[in-house]
Each structure stands twice: as structure tokens, then as C-alpha cells.
Amino acid sequence: MSDLSVSAQTRLLVVAPHPDDETLGCGVLIQRVLAAGGAVQVLLLTDGDNNPWPQRYIERRLRIDAAGRRRWGGRRRGEVLQAIAALGLPASALHAMGWPDMGLTALLRDEGSRAIAAVQAVMQGFQPNLVSCPGLRDSHPDHGAAHVLCCLALAGLDRPPSLFAYPVHGHADASAYPVLVDAAPGQQQRKLQALAEHVTQMRLSGARLRRLALSPERYMQVERAPGAARLPWRPPVLLQPWLRLLAATPAGAVDFRWPDAVVSAAGGGYQFRWPPGRQPPGPAFVKLHLDWPSPWIFDHWGWHAV
């Protein structure tokens, strides 16, 4: 499958890091596949429970404890069931993993093999021939990690399906996401109806989310070409003693100190290197990070394929 033409033989798996990503990223595509007679399932990685500002606003509380986050996650799980119903899917089409919101990178680092196996199990059960997940360059850390999880899970399948990435956070221009899925009459309105079911998100961000939902759905086909050893980052020298480079592979993840994983290259850049005897088979992705708490949600460096 070289484009996003669909038929009765299409089996689409939509991978959503949080409730509402399934609708924002793929609300029209889901309807197009169902209208063609194909099958759709949704893999929801988190319940979106670490979502404090809408929760504070709606519940009129400042402090949110663990029980409050679980309650909020249950509410958002209910919203996604209503949203996929508006798009034409039964509740049985949802696979909810319940992993930590804002914690998918840590999950890859600490339990990468288990997480990859769990995604593979859903794929093997449904047997999709088309998978759609967030783009690698999406600036939300859970979205980039979801992309990495999908790629690593697909690498372990005998006949991997086609993989198309959708944008939510960051640039979604035609050059980055050149495949366009047009909405048939009524499908855009149904997508907006599905988005309205995400009441917790619409209260504070309704105008922004409606703009996203009204934008044309764009995708990028993810080719399984090898990545580049040259890293795209030039971090400040003063930070380098504390920087770490997380390498995620189908066999799991390794978290290196920055000086242990890179070599200087001509022109002031850096190249990634595996320590002798530690390079695993298959694809690998690396992420530059600091283990420092920060109020900033979005990723400064993101992931890079190597």
C-alpha cells in the first residue's frame, strides 16, 4: 500500500497516545475505511490522566492526588468511547493500555521490551494492513514515544503493515505530511461531533481543537530506511555533563551518559556510536534528555532514527 486509498480489505489500526488523538489525527480516515467496508480498531496508550489544568478548572480544585488522576483518566476513557461511537465504532474496537500519561518515554526506558510486546500482541490479534500513529517529530513527548513504540513493534512482525504518521502538535505542512485524505460529505461534521464528546478537553481548548479538526487530514508514509548516525542536536557544552541519550531498540532500551554515546564530528556536530559489542539488530531511535523536572510539557529535542 503506497498511499492511503482504502477498500473493503483495509484493516486500520489507529494508535492514539491520549483520548482525542484518535479523532484529531484520524477521524476522517476512520470513517473512510468504514464506509469502504473495511475494519478499524483503536489502540489507546494512556487515559490522559495527567491533564491537570483542565481538571483544576472543571473540578474547581488546586491539588490533584493519585485518586483524582485515576478519576480523571476514567472520565476521559469514557469520552473516547463516546467519540469512537460517533465515528461509527463499537466499544469493542478500543484497546486501552492504561499506561502513564506523560510517561511513555520512561516506559520505553524502563520496560521497553514489555511495552513493545504489548503493542505487538494487539497487532497480531487484529492483523492490520494499515497502521496510523503520531509523527516522530511531534513535539509532545508521548506522541514521539508512541511513534517509536510502533516502529519497534512492527520490526518484530513477519509481514509488517504499512505505517502512516499523522501530526497533532507541531508543523503539519504538505511538505512534511504530503498524503491528504479528503472528507466525503458529512464526514467532517461527524468528526466535529466526535471531538465534542471530549468534553474535558473542549472546555479550555475548544477553539484550538476545532481548528485542528477542521484542517485537512495529512499523513506521511513511514519508510523503513536506515537512520543517520549524525545527530541533529548541538547541546550547550555546559549541559553536557548531565545530558543523557536514550537508545530504544526492538530488544529494549539503553540510557547512556551523553559522553559515552557520542563522538565529535567535523563541523561541530556529533555522531552516535554504540559501545563495542552492544549494537542490537533492527532499527534504533535515540532521544536526548535531561532528568530534571520541568513545567514545560513539549519536547525540546525529540527523537532521531539511527
pLDDT of residue 108: 96
Q: Residues 39-90: pLDDT tens digits?
A: 999 999 999 999 999 999 999 999 999 999 999 999 999 999 999 999 999 9
CA dihedral 298, 300, 302, 306 (to 10 degrees): 180
Judged against a pLDDT cut of 60, whether residue 301 lies above it is answered with: yes
Judged against a pLDDT cut of 50, whether residue 148 lies above it is answered with: yes
pLDDT of residue 225: 65
The alpha carbon of 26 is separated from its chain's Cα centroid by a whole number of angstroms, namely 12
pLDDT of residue 214: 93
Question: CB within 8 A of 171, min separation 6: which ones?
Answer: 137
- Side-chain half-sphere exposure of 4, counting CA atoms within 13 A: 27
Judged against a pLDDT cut of 60, whether residue 122 lies above it is answered with: yes
245 vs 280, higher pLDDT: 245
Separation between Cα atoms, residue 122 and residue 128, nearest integer Å: 9
As a whole number, the mean pLDDT across the chain is 93
- pTM here is 0.95
Judged against a pLDDT cut of 70, whether residue 99 lies above it is answered with: yes
Beta strands 303-305 and 285-289 are antiparallel
pLDDT of residue 2: 44
Separation between Cα atoms, residue 145 and residue 137, nearest integer Å: 10
CB 254 within 8 A of CB 247: yes
Q: Residues 224-264: pLDDT tens digits?
A: 766 778 899 988 889 989 999 999 999 889 999 998 888 87
